[in-house]
Amino acid sequence: MASAQVSAGAGSAVRPDPTTLIAFVVVVVTGGLNAIAARQTLGELTPFWSAALRFMLAALIMVSIVLVSGRGFPRGRALVGAAAYGAVGFAASYAFVYSGLVEAPASAGAVLLALTPLFTFGLAIIQGQERYRLEGLVGAVVAMLGVAVIFADQLGADVPLASLVLIVLGVLCIAESGVIVKWIPRGDPFGTNAVAMTSGGLILLALTIVSGEPVALPSGPEAISALVYLVLLGTVVLFGAYVYALTRWSASAVSYATLLMPLVAVPTAAILTGEPITPLLLVGGAIILAGVYVGAFLRRPRRLSATSSPECLPVDGWAEVEVSSSPAANR
């Protein structure tokens, strides 16, 4: 009986069902367009305040949905996990990355953010959620090289070491947030995100006050439209799809969404500004797609037994294995 439960859990983690794949694509598209929208808001809003406003407004929407629909908020360990997810994935990651980008070019930030799948893969292994796979390592490295190719003509500037360290710390927070979500007991994505966005938004608001950033609302139509997009699609929809995908697929596989986002952001920005699509984008894009396929989709056949651990268990799988007296870590 235990063997059957483990195999089922591993199967859902290895090959995502169509709904999970759709959620993954939603994360890629909305996240890719976020970079463009964020640029519009930063013309009028300061970095910490922009992020704080975005997540607090999104939290209000999420809380309203939970209350109206009667879905319920997470409790106990799930509540703690959701709050930690918001503190690490929303507040800490944005604080580190934004601070690093003050002195570093966006291209350097994009390349460093491409480390997310590699870091997620390593953290998931260290914390017992996934097993080492050569495909995972190769895929993450290849896809990261693809991002470097896309921004190759912009990487000549010297970047302060402190900025690099801050961005890398932000990437580690992004990676760890995906692992944290996998430990949260299975619950409703709306309730989880309502708590997480409230937690992250309040911390970002505190950082806004401590840093002395001015607090104001956007007034220009472009900035207002961009903020509406960031709140509704770029936060509520994006992270709802993100948490949904994480409950049904491995953290390292879902993290590849960050590598695919430039394939949405760069050509969209080029179309809006009338700039041509460069050969670097085409070559780098092909390399990224190859890396994502190898790291997230390519699996060598592996026979699982009752005593073997799968590469990754979905959240439901952890509960099933715990009942079967497996030594797997608690959710």
Residues 122, 133 contacting (CB under 8 angstroms)? no
* Amino acid present at 142: V
Structure-token pair, residue 94: 């944005």
Residues 236, 11 contacting (CB under 8 angstroms)? no
Residue 329 resides in a domain: no
Per-residue pLDDT for 156 more than 70?
Answer: no
Residue 112 resides in a domain: yes
Domain that holds residue 123: 2-322
**46-103 pLDDT, tens per residue?**
889 999 999 999 999 999 999 999 888 999 999 999 999 999 999 999 899 888 887 8
The residue length of the chain stands at 331
Residue 81 resides in a domain: yes
Query: Domain total for the chain?
Result: 1
Buried b (16+ CB within 10 A) or exposed e, 34-56: bbbbbebbeebbbbbbbbbbbbb
Q: What is the pLDDT of residue 302?
A: 54
Q: What is the pLDDT of residue 321?
A: 27
Structure-token pair, residue 154: 């912009």
Average pLDDT over the chain, rounded to whole? 82
Residue 286 resides in a domain: yes
* Amino acid present at 177: S
**278-324 pLDDT, tens per residue?**
888 889 999 999 999 888 888 765 544 443 333 333 333 322 222 23
Whole-model pTM above 0.85? no
Residue 313, φ and ψ in degrees, nearest 5: -110, 135
Region of residue 328 (phi > 0: left; psi between -120 and 50: alpha; otherwise: beta): beta
Residue 328 resides in a domain: no
Residue 303 resides in a domain: yes
Residue 330 resides in a domain: no
Residue 96 resides in a domain: yes
- Proportion of the chain above pLDDT 90, given as a percent: 44
* Amino acid present at 33: L
Give residue 4's pLDDT band: very low, low, confident or very high (50, 70, 90).
very low
Positions of E strands within 131-264: none
Burial class (CB in 10 A: 0-12, 13-18, 19+), 300: exposed
DSSP per position, 228-293: HHHHIIIIIIHHHHHHHHHTTS-HHHHTTHHHHTHHHHHHHHHHHHTPPPPHHHHHHHHHHHHHHI
Per-residue pLDDT for 248 more than 60?
Answer: yes
